Amino acid sequence: MVLERECQPGRVGVLLGGPSSEREISIKSGKAVSRALRSRGVEVVEIGIEEEVREGLAREALDAAFVVLHGRFGEDGQVQALLEKMGVPYTGSGVEASRLALDKAASRAVFRGCGLPVPETVLVRNGSAPARLPFPFPVVVKPSREGSSIGLGMARDREELEAACRTASAYDRTVLVEPLIAGKEITVGILGDRALPAVEIIPSHPFFDFEAKYTPGVSEFLVPARLETSVAERAARVALSAHAALGCYAYSRVDMLVRPGGDPVLLEVNTIPGFTENSLYPRACAAVGISFEELCLELLRLARIRGRN
């Protein structure tokens, strides 16, 4: 897959850092992207996002922006709206798709409306645990608008539920409580209009929390996932449908569980997944022969296409 001839992006700003709880992961992702683009001769300037965002971007006179800001400000549509006002083409999904995808409560409402399989969910506000649940323990508790499993917890009884709701509400005023679903954890990447091979996640923890994601050796990843062909195809269809339902553009990574009987359950869509060379999305690309450098160039190419429309 040779893309250099198609991509003449000019001066590219790699936007990294940001104010979210995923700042350190964003910096690692951004530096990996910068190295990859520079290795292909692209003029790159790294822009650490702090307070004076508009002034910093304007000073750099960018031809394109590669957005690697995980979590709030990067994945909630704010920086995308700013770049659109400045007329700077950028990688990934637009303002509304980004906002919806980061908000699990809002995106699940969209998925349900499209008939996609999502967990039964109870919404909690202001840190108070629900008086009763329509499903048994154990349950999973998570903030509605966080990524990288920040604030994620599991509860096996009422006392643990109350503690988990308090922890999650420190990150967002809306908290999701859902049943702990048995099955394989997988993630399916989308690139353009195709689904990449599913990655199977085998964490040593009860579920794929922050430590399991980012501590080397804690989790095992298999590409492709150990799924029957029909199940893998079904998961790919769900991933493509979820990506389209939110109006995502160019790429995303769709997380789901596959029940023992083979039925996928959709959890969330990540519009800016991890972008280090060992992250799950680049692993899926590598499995079909797309190198990390080629992937970065392709996303810039797609950004330029949208910028011309």
Could you say which of 268, 293, 294, 298 is catalytic?
268
Tell me if residue 107 is catalytic.
no
Could you say which of 34, 148, 169, 252 is catalytic?
148
> How is residue 157 annotated by DSSP?
S
Tell me if residue 253 is catalytic.
yes
Could you say which of 90, 214, 249, 251 is catalytic?
214
Rounded CA separation 155/284 (Å): 32
Tell me if residue 268 is catalytic.
yes
Tell me if residue 219 is catalytic.
no
Tell me if residue 22 is catalytic.
yes
Quickly list DSSP for 249-308. -SEEEEEEEE-TTS-EEEEEEESS---STTSHHHHHHHHTT--HHHHHHHHHHHHHHHHH
Which of 79, 22, 75 is closest to 54 using CA atoms?
79
Residue 28: partners with Cβ closer than 8 Å, 6 or more residues away: 276
Locate 285 and state its tokens: 């690309």
Rounded CA separation 173/227 (Å): 37
Could you say which of 252, 270, 298, 304 is catalytic?
270
Which of 25, 169, 145 is closest to 73 using CA atoms?
145
Tell me if residue 126 is catalytic.
no
Rounded CA Rg of the chain: 19
Tell me if residue 43 is catalytic.
no
Could you say which of 108, 253, 283, 301 is catalytic?
253
Could you say which of 22, 75, 172, 209 is catalytic?
22
Tell me if residue 255 is catalytic.
yes
Rounded CA separation 172/210 (Å): 17
Could you say which of 178, 255, 293, 294 is catalytic?
255
Classify each residue of 212-229 as buried b or exposed e, where b means 16 or more C-beta atoms within 10 Å of its C-beta: bbbeeeebebbbebebee
Catalytic residue annotation: 22, 148, 214, 253, 255, 268, 270, 274
